Amino acid sequence: MKKGQEIELKITRMKYPNIGIGSFEAQEVRVKNALTGQLLACRISKKRSTKIEARALEVIERAPNEKDSFCEHFNVCGGCMLQTLDYESQLQLKTEMVKNLFDEAGVMLKFNPIVPSPEAFEYRNKMEFSFGDEFKDGPLTLGMHKKGHHHDVVDVPNCHLADVDFRTIQTGVLAYAKENGLIKYNKRSNIGFLRHLVVRKTKGTGEIMVALSATSQVADEQGNAFDGKAFARYISELPLTGTLKSVLYVKNDGLGDVVSGEIVCLFGDLHITEKLFDLTFKITLYSFFQTNTKGAEKLYQTALDQIDAIEDKVCFDLFSGTGTIGQIMAQKAKKVIGIEWVEDAVMAARENALINGLDNCEFICGDVFEQLKNVKVKPDVIVVDPPRSGMGEKTTVAVASYGIPSIVYVSCNPSTLLDDLIVFQKQGYVAEDITLVDMFPWTGGVESIVLIQKQSM
């Protein structure tokens, strides 16, 4: 077998994240975004002594449980890679992928039944679209990056993960930009105006935030500055089913392809308000909030069910975002300390605690590792919910060094969860079981909850 060779490969198992594994000439070959049971035509793309990777060229035979995709954007936008499977098969596949990842690393855990998402369609409360073109110098588009391309952007007006208001806003803003001759930003030259569109819509209250991320350069070819008032008026006249609460302009002159910069409020407030269980949460543009609200209730409930009795306990909510997990715990706990480094999110968490009548919460702004050094009080309970990159070794060691009996780890990335669990093991902790919670139907993503317990000597 050599690089560039074309082969036929039967996928016999999957490993997180969406890696199909088959055997050719008695050697293991890995293909991204395949499905167990597919027969693929592939080209070998990498051949090392330890790893052989191939790129799928064609599906010769579908997996036995595969059916037609339901979305016109399938295979173009790069999302929803599992949509040719029914929901039950997706849940099984996610479990299989995470199990194989852990088994390969020699970390044995008992897998509890996966918790399904309460909603399979239109479950997202946030979408981030990019402005661009479908091909170089093509007409303006507003949508998702084309599968496998960093620059090309495809319209996704009929995405099934977002509700009708997201679709109305996306198509409306694209029409507005075209009618007004607004110019797209060019990443290579750093010239132009339009960059991203963020839409948030709460599930519990139906409140909508629209944020246009664009440079502070001239907005159109005639050299006119952006007319924020006219833009906000246009958005407020769109036929929405929810309530428009916030229209923002993010002055984004940074070089990275991310939404960042000074926020100018064009209409309404800087936040929208979501309901989760019986609690209220203000959400600002830059605060993290789980994208599947109803799934988040399942996630948090499953996580907190791991903790025995919380009354009279001091609880740490590490990587606390807007303080969701902390405030759910604070309804019963003696004291909650949350640590989060996005200032906006911390301010929202403090306000949320006041709105929710919780006076036993403290939210600290800063890096978890650095701030833990300053916290004098000792925890009885720790819940961690780090970003995709995981906690990393030094923070994991710092958390383990409290030596408390159990720690609940909520993770959106099984690979970094695995790395951190290996560090916990070295610190005398053991994880016995794992519960997966599906927050992202049709995609390969999954949340995990692990109860990590101190081993008795």
Ligand X SMILES: C[S@@+](CC[C@H](N)C(=O)[O-])C[C@H]1O[C@@H](n2cnc3c(N)ncnc32)[C@H](O)[C@@H]1O
Binding range to ligand X, per CB under 6 A, among 161-169, 252-260, 313-321, 329-337: 313-321
Using alpha carbons, list the distances in angstroms from residue 61 to 36, 90, 191, 200, 444. 11, 19, 46, 40, 21
Distance of CA 359 to the CA centre of its chain: 30
Smallest separation (angstroms) from ligand X to the CB of 369: 7
> Counting contacts by CB under 6 A, is residue 293 touching ligand X?
no
Q: Binding string, 381-400, against ligand X, x = CB under 6 A?
A: ----xxx-------------
Residue 314 Cβ, how far from ligand X at the closest point, in Å? 18
**Beta-carbon count within 10 A of 267 CB:** 18
The answer to whether 195 and 215 have CB atoms below 8 angstroms apart is yes
Q: Which residues contact 399 (CB under 8 A, 6 or more apart)?
A: 318, 372, 382, 384, 391, 407
Given 77, 80, 315, 412, which residue is catalytic? 412
- Is residue 290 part of the contact set for ligand X (CB under 6 A)? yes
Q: How many other C-beta atoms can be found within 10 angstroms of the C-beta atom of residue 17?
A: 16
Contacts 24+ apart (CB under 8 A), 66-70: 66/35, 66/37, 66/38, 70/160
- The alpha carbon of residue 266 and the mean position of all alpha carbons in its chain are separated, in whole angstroms, by 27
Choose between 24 and 341: whose C-beta lies nearer to ligand X: 341
Query: Phi and psi dihedrals of 350, rounded to 5?
Result: -65, -45
Residue 234 in 3-state DSSP?
helix
The verdict on 319 binding ligand X (CB under 6 A) reads: yes
Site string for ligand X, 407-446 (x = CB under 6 A): -----x----------------------------------
Q: Which of 169, 266, 330, 368 binds ligand X (CB under 6 A)?
A: 368
71 is catalytic: no
Contact status: 324 vs ligand X (CB under 6 A): yes
H helix or E strand, kind and range, residue 199: strand 194-201
Of residues 334-353, which lie at the interface with ligand X (CB under 6 A)?
Answer: 339-342, 345
Stretch that binds ligand X, among 7-15, 23-31, 161-169, 287-295 (CB under 6 A): 287-295
Q: Which of 86, 367, 393, 433 binds ligand X (CB under 6 A)?
A: 367
Complex with ligand X: residue 193 or 363, whichever CB lies closer? 363
Shortest distance, CB of residue 260 to ligand X, whole angstroms?
13
Residue 411 CB, nearest approach to ligand X (Å): 8
Closer to ligand X by CB, 75 or 401: give it: 401
| C-alpha–C-alpha distance, residues 298 and 309, integer Å | 19
User: 370: which 2 tokens?
Assistant: 């650095």
Footprint of ligand X (CB under 6 A): 288-290, 319-322, 324-325, 339-342, 345, 367-368, 385-387, 412
